[in-house]
Amino acid sequence: MKRVLRSLRWAMVKAAIAGTVMVALAFLIPLGLMVQQTARDRAFTAAERQAAALGPALAITTDQQAVAKAMASTDAGSRDRLAVHLPGGVTVGSARTDNDQLPGTGNQGWTRTVRAGTARVDGGYVLLQPVAVDGGGIAMVEVYVPDTDLSRGVGTAWLVLSGVALALVAVSVAVADRMGTRIIRSARRLATAARSLGSGNLSVRVPVEGREAAGAPEELREAAYAFNAMADRVVHLLAAERELAADLSHRLRTPLTVLRLNAAALGEGDAADATRHAVSQLEREVDQIIRTARRDPVDAPPVALGCDAVEVVRDRVAFWSALAEDEGRPWQLAGDDAPAPVPVQRGDLAAAVDALLGNVFRHTAVGTPFAVDVVATEDTVAVLVGDGGPGITDPATAIRRGAGHGGEGSTGLGLDIVRKLAEGTGGEVRLGRSALGGAEVTVRINTRTEVELPRQQRRRTGRLIRKD
């Protein structure tokens, strides 16, 4: 679950990064190109001002010394970026172009229709600006614009824009992470409550109001409301079921009292002692059922999950051995040398063993032998109950809830209870033939509990979730 929530949080962060990057690129790239174009226009505009500054001087005189002095007074001329092509092919200053490359009419000078323009030269561009001179001619002013002037400040602008983009991404990630933290906190709280409810804590509820629920999305709030309603319904149903169990168990008090009085009147003997012991044991079990049913499931203390399978099997076999001796049934118990811990409650395992042994006594003839084996491995504990009876003709029907296989007096729930116990740990129940010739029921309990994912989800993940 934690891995899923982390993936959800990371997905929200990635979505925020992708969205912010797209928005930043949509705005910042055109802005950067505009800054680059602005720098280019600024450089040529400055060159046009430098060329226009020579207009008054050229309108007065075309003397080369006077023109050179006027050029030196400008910023472009002082930096050796200015030249004047006078009529007659005379050039003043450092020209980057030849007269043959200039638009005009050769030695007759340039006509008044010549317009300003630019030309590519080594290291940059030149701006060509025609200016009317003294005597009615046209001079061509050449201003050199290097490439460095065309990109001045563009690199800094791109760095600033990149920094702005990174800042936007960082802010969006922080906001998305904050929102994801709130969502994940609410989802984790709901998952924790569901896990606690599944483990038997019926008092757990998910807060839907107040500080703990602040910032939770509306969908998770609705899920919390639904979870609380479900938990309340579970408590109500369990209370009704316990009341029913207590009522039914209490009704057994009258026939139990009669049995106890009759057993007391049997006198002395092994059979009488065994009957009185069985009646006392049955009365204790009924009392325990009533006390358990009357206990509030919300206030009940948690039951320790886990017991020793060998100890439980040995105890239940000893209980049924008295009846086996009365009916002349040979029996044997094997595999009870070393402890075999299993992750199930003692009462549940005892009820399962009683159901298996009860089926042997109920569905086989008097004198039929039976055997109980406990086989423990690294990951599983198997309890095998076999008999020498006729066996089970239809195993699939016998293990189905309520189907039964013994006719009169059988509820058909015994094997289903055993199956639920085994499958609750990831194990299974198998029906087969025993070495005695009759039926054999194998209950395999996983000591390392694993819960298998649904088929579709298992295809996506390819693994099992381990319950730690």
Q: How much is the pLDDT for 358?
A: 85
Interval 372-394 mean pLDDT: 89
Asked whether residue 83 carries a pLDDT value surpassing 80, the answer given is yes
pLDDT tens-digit readout, 395-425: 766 666 544 444 444 445 567 778 888 888 8
Residue pair 439/392 in contact by the 8 Å Cβ criterion: yes
pLDDT band (50, 70, 90) for residue 116:
low
Percent of the chain with pLDDT over 70: 78
Of residues 68 and 412, more confidence is placed in 68
- pLDDT, tens only, 290-329: 666 556 555 555 445 688 999 999 999 998 888 888 889 9
pLDDT at 381 over 90: yes
Instruction: Choose the weakest-confidence range: 226-235, 293-302, 380-389, 392-401.
Output: 293-302
Q: Tell me which residue of 168, 285, 298 sits closest to 231, measured CA to CA.
A: 298
**Domain coordinates in residue numbering, the chain:** 1-52+153-199, 54-150, 304-468
Residues β-bridged to residue 373: 334, 384
CA distance 418 to 441: 10
pLDDT, residue 452, reads 40
pLDDT at 92 over 90: no
Residue 3 has pLDDT above 70, yes or no: no
pLDDT of residue 213: 61
Can you tell me the mean pLDDT for 161-174? 84
Residue 465 has pLDDT above 50, yes or no: no
The span from the CA of 91 to the CA of 94, in Å, is 8
- d(CA 87, CA 93) in angstroms, rounded, equals 14
- Does the pLDDT value for residue 40 go beyond 50? yes
Which of these ranges, 53-62, 112-121, 122-131, 384-393, has the smallest mean pLDDT? 112-121
Give me the pLDDT at residue 291, please.
65
Assigned CATH topology for domain 304-468: Heat Shock Protein 90 (3.30.565)
Assessment of whether the complete model's pTM goes beyond 0.75:
no
Residue 411's pLDDT is 41
Please indicate whether the domains covering 54-150 and 304-468 agree at the CATH topology level: no
Sort residue 200 into left (φ over 0), alpha (ψ -120 to 50) or beta.
left
pLDDT at 252: 72
Distance from C-alpha of 233 to C-alpha of 236, rounded to nearest angstrom = 5
Give domain 54-150's CATH number out of 3.30.450, 2.40.128, 3.30.70, 1.20.1510.
3.30.450
More confident residue, 281 or 82: 82
Task: Check residue 442 and give left, alpha or beta (phi > 0: left; psi -120 to 50: alpha).
Answer: beta
Residue whose C-alpha is closest to residue 77's, from 46, 50, 41: 50
Highest mean pLDDT among 64-68, 126-130, 429-433: 429-433
- pLDDT > 90: what percent of the chain? 9
